[in-house]
Amino acid sequence: MTIDINAVKAIDIHAHVQVSDDGHYALSSEIMEASAKYFKADRKAQPTINEMAAYYRSINIAAVVFTVDAENATGIPRISNIEIAENCARHSDVLIPFASIDPWKGKAGAREAKELVTRHGVKGFKFHPSVQGFAPNNQIAYPLYEAIQELGVPALFHTGQTGIGAGLPGGGGVRLSYSNPMLIDDVAVDFPGITIILAHPSFPWQDEALSVATHKANVYIDLSGWSPKYFPPQLVHYANTLIQDKVLFGSDYPFIDPVDWIRSFDQLDIRPQVRPKILKDNAVKVLGLS
């Protein structure tokens, strides 16, 4: 079974798998508590992939799902990429699997990336520089980027402020500077064959993100992590005009509910011809679903 593109009303390009089938979390309880407080979310409301599939099916939205592999920075074992891919295969009418590989794994990570795409149906890769503890333009990540470029799948990078570690002493060790979009501009130059997605309104670097997406043909922006009612004016303006073909709907589920996000988006001053691009059509192109 595959996603019926004409039937789903939207594609959510940004949904998190926070817990494995056996109840394992890839972040510490302290970090998880801080994140829940930041998003005003229920710490215990962390759905499994099966539960995510049921929910997205009920609201007629497809979703890209992933975890974050930050084993080097946190010392906590990741949630298995293969487990996520296999679970998504059972729900392929609504779920699209992305993988996450810690860039500090170097060539071993590159080999894993190739196996995940060729043998397990993974459709892209997620990076969270601040949580994974690396600058995106650090050469340590380049073997992994080379593999992703060769595989022809997109890479999604967290940018800007993060709720992970927010409010903790020292932010729980999370460095915001690693998520400046200008660091990803170097990646876009060095790997022009990778479709890059800058996740979130990139506070406090929104203008930098818009500049990179406008300048680099291979760079897109997703709108996850914020309710649309809080979007900065320049983001709305660019989404309506210069980069209307490069902006993607994302919720950041389970931190933000996609139904609530779309309800807020409906109140935003977005041109009628642009709305379907943001909600679905641009993601269809990026993900190669047409």
- pLDDT number for residue 230: 97
Determine the angle formed by the axes of helices 142-151 and 181-190, rounding to 10 degrees: 60
Per the CB < 8 A criterion, the answer to whether 88 and 77 are in contact is: no
Q: How many CB atoms lie within 10 A of CB 203?
A: 16
Instruction: Give the pTM.
Output: 0.96
β 155-158/196-199 pair status: parallel
Task: Render the burial of 135-151: b for 16+ CB within 10 Å, e for the rest.
Answer: bbbbeebbbbbbbbbeb
Q: How many domains does the chain have?
A: 1
Does 1 reside within a domain? no
Whether the predicted pLDDT of 263 surpasses 90 = yes
- pLDDT number for residue 28: 73
94-103, 151-160, 165-174, 196-205: the lowest-pLDDT one? 165-174
| For residues 173-193, average pLDDT | 97
- pLDDT number for residue 162: 94
- pLDDT number for residue 245: 98
DSSP sequence for 183-221: HHHHHHHH-TTS-EEEES--TT-HHHHHHHHHH-TTEEE
Does 5 reside within a domain? no
Does 3 reside within a domain? no
- pLDDT number for residue 204: 98
- pLDDT number for residue 236: 98
39-48, 161-170, 196-205, 246-255: the lowest-pLDDT one? 39-48
Whether the predicted pLDDT of 216 surpasses 70 = yes
**Coil/strand/helix, residue 16:** strand
Peptide bond before residue 192 is cis, with ω within 30 degrees of 0: no
Per-residue confidence band for 275, with pLDDT thresholds at 50, 70 and 90: very high
Does 102 reside within a domain? yes
Does 76 reside within a domain? yes
- pLDDT number for residue 116: 98
**Sign of the alpha-carbon dihedral angle for 119, 196, 148, 69:** negative
The whole domain housing 198 covers 10-287
- pLDDT number for residue 102: 98
Does 185 reside within a domain? yes
Does 81 reside within a domain? yes
pLDDT digits (tens, 9 = 90+) for 3-46: 999 999 999 999 999 998 888 887 777 877 777 777 776 655 68
- pLDDT number for residue 41: 66
CB within 8 A of 115, min separation 6: which ones? Answer: none
Which residue type sits at 239? A
Give the C-alpha separation, 80 to 68, whole Å: 10
Give the C-alpha separation, 274 to 257, whole Å: 22
| For residues 160-177, average pLDDT | 93
CB within 8 A of 233, min separation 6: which ones? Answer: none
pLDDT digits (tens, 9 = 90+) for 121-142: 999 999 999 999 999 999 999 9
> What CATH number is attached to the domain comprising 215?
3.20.20.140
| For residues 240-269, average pLDDT | 97
Does 267 reside within a domain? yes
Mean pLDDT of all residues in the chain?
95
Share of the chain above pLDDT 90, in %: 88
